[in-house]
Amino acid sequence: MSAFFREVLWQKLRRNRMAMAGALIVFGMFVLATIAPLVNNDPGAIDIARRLQSPNWGHPLGTDDLGRDVLVRILYGARISLLVGFVAVGIATSIGILLGALAGYYGRWVDVVIMRFVDIMLCFPSFFLILAVIAFLEPSIWNIMIIIGLTGWMGVARLVRAEFLSLRERDFVLAARALGARDARIIFRHILPNALSPVLVSATLGVAGAILTESALSFLGIGVQPPTPSWGNMLIAGKQTLGTAWWLSVFPGLAILITVLGYNLLGEGIRDAMDPRIKD
């Protein structure tokens, strides 16, 4: 992106209230995840004498059935959720960019092989594919990040392929070929920087999807395992006492809702800002 394009994009984003609200939420979650280690409390510290306390001055979000502070565990859970979101999306985006670039640039049989593989992958519901793979592996945060990334690259590949198909015959690409530039240089230096706009939107929305997937897996008991705090396993832990200790489920659920909403608002705002058909 040129400096001028970034400036225009920033100006449009600033005028989009929903996008700025999403950016504020995302920034707030980063801050909370950053300050989690600075909190003196241990997220796994057990204090049976204070079990199932409702929100109070000492424990603003209450305590769970083992006397652990819910606020502290949500802060540490934010680190897990954001880590899963960014690593999984990073893996998916890298694979999608590479395969989409190859398919769009070379075309012909390369395009046919890659896109048929994409079609096959899209035939399987992603969540059930993740469940099937995890069934054969040990549930851990690293396995979850890798699996989500390996099953979420198809949309990015299709976006990048479409952009490459429209850009590969442009004058600047033809000029690079005439100067003897190699394919790798043309792909990664000349075409790819001009094809990243839809990828940025997809990656932003993908973080929200990865956080939801991790939370769902942890809720089912095959994601992040206790005692490591995760918003998903905090939800399942609170299900048993939902009638008497509502805060054990409500606050982790709100954390998931607000975080996903923030990324969705930011992603929609970036998409609107990059769409030339939408006037200020």
Domain ranges of the chain: 3-38+61-274
pLDDT tens-digit profile, the chain (280 residues): 455 455 656 677 777 788 888 889 989 888 888 887 777 667 777 778 888 888 888 888 888 888 888 888 888 888 888 888 899 999 999 999 999 999 988 888 989 999 999 998 888 777 787 877 777 777 778 888 888 888 889 989 999 998 888 888 888 888 888 888 888 888 888 888 888 878 888 888 889 888 888 888 888 878 788 778 888 888 887 877 777 888 888 898 899 999 999 998 888 888 777 665 555 5
- Does the domain spanning 3-38+61-274 belong to CATH 3.90.1150.10? no
d(CA 63, CA 274): 45
Residue 165 exposure: Cα atoms within 13 Å on the Cβ side? 12
Q: In sequence order, what are the residues at sequence separation of 6 or more whose Cβ sits closer than 8 angstroms to the Cβ of residue 217?
A: 130, 131, 134, 139, 144, 223, 224, 232
The pTM score is 0.85
Look up residue 163 and give its two tokens: 């952009």
Number of H helices, E strands in the chain: 12, 0
In this structure, the number of other CB atoms found within 10 A of the CB of residue 277 comes to 5
Look up residue 99 and give its two tokens: 């395969």
Q: In angstroms, what CA-CA distances link 60 with 14, 24, 55, 247?
A: 34, 22, 5, 10
